[in-house]
Amino acid sequence: MFGFEHLLNTLRTFFDVPAVHDLLDLMPIRHTWGYEWQEVNFDQPEILWGLVAVLPLIIFTWRKRQPALGHSRLPRRRFSIRGIFTFVILAFTTFSVGVATSALIIARAHPQMMQVLPGDVVMVRDIHFALDKSNGNVSEFIGSTQHQQDDSKNSQPPPGSCGDESNWGFRKIDNEVYAACKIAQAFPDDRKSLATFDGGTQCCAPAVNSDWRFFNQRIRYVNQQLGDNQTNFEDENGVFNVMLDFINQKSTSNTRVLIVETDGDGTLTDESIQRYVQRIKAMKVTLICAGPGQDTIATDPPTDAVVKLCHQANGMIVDTSKEEGIQKIIDTIKSLPPSEVKLKSRTQPRPVHEAFLLLSAVAWAFAALGWALLGRIR
């Protein structure tokens, strides 16, 4: 009993070897439509031309051992039991030599098998920015009606950092991108998306991405590309409809924040306001309505359409032309606990050359056994 258990433990140890696992994984998988081989890639596929040498080796092995068929000690009979046995051993030995040599060549070509890794589970918030770029108002200097049409006159933030507001410029659009940059920089591990809107909504890049560098690159171009003179809040291309659709489809975190930076000059019917308010509450989106200084949503009267929407949706209205306003947004988002998100599974190559080395070693052992049996038969 002890010997049997010891044998089982030995077999378990053998099958726990990673190379054995890889070898078993390379076996074809049975599906309802038949067998399917695993996909294997090679770092040095040109080495596989060495498999051409396997055929001459097999012929050499066959011819070298074939005389054993004709030198049996038994009387020569065409279908003697010894002759059949010798033929089987010879075929087995030749096959083992071919497998062993082929496995060595394949191992030298550095094979890799694609494996599917389960997606990681992360704790994140999804922060969505929508910046108003309608030319008529956001090209004005903050607190003034003077316009600046040269979109690239300032906008020189230091590389890899938001710098300060003077690096971006002093228009409303410049403050919008500066504020968005500062807020995004405060949450490097959370996922962010960026949309712009004027007469229509351009959404969204990146599509909920936690890479701060990508977002930082995108935000630097927003104030250099002002749009038309319209601000669309109302129809299917309006910012609220587009962003809520996007959040519903792409935002997998239960902690969702929508930051709308706008001058607020646009129309919304009471029916549309109620529809958007109901969606925001049902989707549990934290709404932040931000305006860069005077004559924006930050200072508009309660009768303004967007102000009404923000209040009814339990949103927050903030003036981002003040540093304390930007900090208030950051503190509000920090107070929201991140939610668990399971990322999508991914594939990556895994080296499996050790499996072919093991296969070669086993095949050479069987070939040696076959040669020994053939020697005894003679």
Distances (CA, A) of 196 to 89, 200, 291: 76, 9, 14
Looking at residue 154, its pLDDT comes to: 66
Looking at residue 74, its pLDDT comes to: 45
pTM over 0.85: no
Looking at residue 68, its pLDDT comes to: 46
Domain boundaries, the chain: 2-117+349-377, 121-342
pLDDT of 7 > 60? The answer is: no
Tell me which CATH code domain 121-342 carries.
3.40.50.410
180 touches 259 (CB < 8 A): yes
Looking at residue 45, its pLDDT comes to: 83
d(CA 261, CA 318): 9
Q: What is the mean pLDDT of the chain?
A: 82
Residues near 298 by Cβ (< 8 Å), separated by ≥ 6?
A: 290, 291, 292, 317, 318, 319, 320, 321, 325
Mean pLDDT of 302-316: 94
Distances (CA, A) of 95 to 23, 91, 108: 18, 6, 20
Percent of the chain at pLDDT exceeding 90: 33
Name the pLDDT band for 345 (thresholds 50, 70, 90): low
Count of alpha carbons within 13 angstroms of residue 86, beta-carbon side:
22
